[in-house]
Amino acid sequence: METDVNRLKVVLAEKKRTNKWLCEQLNVNPSTVSKWCTNSSQPDLETLVKISHLLDVDLDDLVNKNIIDSQRIG
């Protein structure tokens, strides 16, 4: 079972939003959002706060959900 699920990717899908939409909202390069969604890199805290507002989710849901789920599985 995969435990390294990217929360940003999941939340974007749940909110029916695309990587392209997010990069336009944040005025960043599409490859940047792609890297965030594949865990190649991570946004800084300020950007995470902006993302949480744009997607109308708690910051904790973007940051901590993976940790909590991993602890339940492990």
Structure tokens belonging to residue 72: 């339940």
- pLDDT over 70 (residue 66): no
- For the chain, where are the alpha helices, taking DSSP H only? 7-14, 19-26, 30-37, 45-55, 59-63, 65-73
Q: What is the share, in percent, of the chain residues with pLDDT greater than 90? A: 69
pLDDT digits (tens, 9 = 90+) for 13-22: 999 999 999 9
pTM of the model: 0.79
**What is the fold, at CATH topology level, of the domain defined by 7-73?**
434 Repressor (Amino-terminal Domain) (1.10.260)
Q: What is the residue whose two structure tokens read 């805290």?
A: 45
pLDDT-derived band at 6, boundaries 50, 70, 90: confident
